[in-house]
Amino acid sequence: MMIKRMIIFSGLFLLFLAGCQSAEDGQDGNQEQLEISTTIFALEDFISKIGGDYVDVESIYPPNADAHTYEPSSREMVDLAKEDLFIYSGVGMEPFASKAEDILESEEVEVSAIGEDIPLRGESGHDHDEEEHYQEEEAEDNGDIIIDGINDHYHSGDTANLEAEADTEEDIAEWNWYYRTAGSEEWEQDEDADNASFETQINDTLEVKLELEDADGEVIAESGIVELLVDNHDGESGVGDPHVFLDPVRSIQLAENITNLLIEEMPEHEDYFTENFEELQGQLEQVDQELEQTIEEADHPQMIVSHAAYGYWEDRYGLEQISIQGLSSSQEPSQSALVEIVDTAREYDLNYVVFERNISSRISEIIQEEIGADSAVLSNMETITDEDIENGEDYFSLMEKNIETLETVLND
């Protein structure tokens, strides 16, 4: 299915591309401005501030878009191919970027994953492909077992569906699937799995293996151990937290990377870009100080949020986010997790549920109703609203509003 989607995506893109090729051929390589497309609002704002008169930058996200789930249309992809640069975060926020990168580079659009060298909160270094195949060496002369259908990670409560293929000359009488919680030494057999398919609901990271037996009960082949990684996007397991642009300190690194890229493109304006970066760095350092003071002096550090975008504030300033959804807004909590959130809210007498304007959450509204809380709003810096655009808001004005929200939520 992933391959089929990729073929359709590439085909539509190339079809539209043919119609705009002649316009690209007339571009002047010595233009006074770099034409840049980007993704996250914070990146758009940083590029604009650093590049100043020498960049024309625009985010491809429409107002109020959810950066975690947004997929550009074929026409929007064609527009990207007309630019000099496409800059995206490279930290796992933009699901479409990896599909677009090769195509854009083939059209001589320079592509930069500007944050790919920034260490992420919760990153384990565990390297997964979208789907992994594990193949064990032959057990004696009996052949290989391949286990397919493994996702890069799962959320608690997800169902894993695995399929095995066995290349053996022996007659298989039993397909014995075994599993254990990661770190455990004892294997348990899944009595319900008696063929090439294995299905289970998982709440913790599991290790799974398959043994094949003949009619005499002798093991004729054994797979390698495969891992079903659970990552609830809590910043503690597996996949790194992509919301680096909410961390003003990491944002300085983002801004420096942008500066270096612009200098590579227009070295004659190095002093100009460097001066703009230094001004931006000073503003980010000021935000860092204000966040630290606001959270440090608060009556309590706990805050209920609609999705777990504020983990860097936890690590750096001691905030405790109680998140209803995970790092991705598409991850919904289990029933037991909802009960725990309500109990925690009552334990700490929390009077607010914090929403984000670009992400709707009926579950968060239910929590708010259940505990009788008021609502507050934070900007997650992924995208902005039409109202923000009309008011000329930028990263720093929205951060000031975020700090005001924190002052209210953490002191009531």
Task: Indicate the domain borders of the chain.
Answer: 2-122+248-283, 131-228, 295-409
pLDDT given at position 70: 84
Q: Which has the higher per-residue pLDDT, 223 or 8? A: 223
* Mean of pLDDT values over 3-26: 44
Task: Tell the residue number behind the tokens 């002096």, with chain if given.
Answer: 297
**CATH number of the structural domain 2-122+248-283:** 3.40.50.1980
pLDDT given at position 155: 63
Q: Among candidates 35, 326, 303, 307, which has minimal Cα distance to 153?
A: 326
pLDDT digits 0-9 by tens, 276-324: 999 999 999 999 999 999 999 999 999 999 888 899 999 999 999 998 8
pLDDT given at position 317: 95
- The two structure tokens encoding residue 293: 């003071």
Are 131 and 184 contacting, i.e. CB atoms less than 8 angstroms apart? Answer: no
Of 24-28, 255-259, 306-310, which gets the smallest average pLDDT? Answer: 24-28
Q: Among candidates 226, 230, 208, which has minimal Cα distance to 158?
A: 230
pTM above 0.75, yes or no: no
Domain 131-228 is found in CATH 3.30.750.24 = no
- The two structure tokens encoding residue 154: 């799962």
Q: Among candidates 269, 272, 290, which has minimal Cα distance to 399?
A: 290
CATH architecture of 295-409: 3-Layer(aba) Sandwich (3.40)
Helix (H/G/I), strand (E/B), else coil: 115: coil
pLDDT digits 0-9 by tens, 392-402: 999 999 999 99
Phi, then psi, of 380 in degrees rounded to 5:
-90, 5
What length does the chain have?
412
Are 280 and 50 contacting, i.e. CB atoms less than 8 angstroms apart? Answer: yes
Are 241 and 235 contacting, i.e. CB atoms less than 8 angstroms apart? Answer: yes
CA atoms within 13 A on the CB side of 348: 23
Whether 248 has a pLDDT exceeding 80, the answer reads yes
Q: In this structure, how many other beta carbons lie within 10 angstroms of the beta carbon of residue 396? A: 16
Whether 131 has a pLDDT exceeding 70, the answer reads no
* Mean of pLDDT values over 235-251: 80
Are 277 and 256 contacting, i.e. CB atoms less than 8 angstroms apart? Answer: yes
* Mean of pLDDT values over 39-44: 96
Cα distance between residue 33 and residue 303, in whole Å: 43
Are 212 and 176 contacting, i.e. CB atoms less than 8 angstroms apart? Answer: yes
Give per-residue burial for 199-221: e unless 16+ CB within 10 Å, then b.
ebebeebbbbbbbbbbeeeeebb
Q: Binning pLDDT at 50, 70 and 90, where does residue 275 land?
A: very high
Strand partners, 325: 307
In whole angstroms, how large is the CA radius of gyration of the chain? 25
Q: Binning pLDDT at 50, 70 and 90, where does residue 4 land?
A: very low
Same fold, 2-122+248-283 and 295-409: yes
* Mean of pLDDT values over 196-213: 87
| Residue 111 DSSP one-character state | E
* Mean of pLDDT values over 156-176: 83
* Distance set, CA 409 to CA 18, 350, 352, 376 (Å): 53, 8, 6, 8
* Burial of 323: CB neighbours in 10 Å, binned 0-12, 13-18, 19+: buried
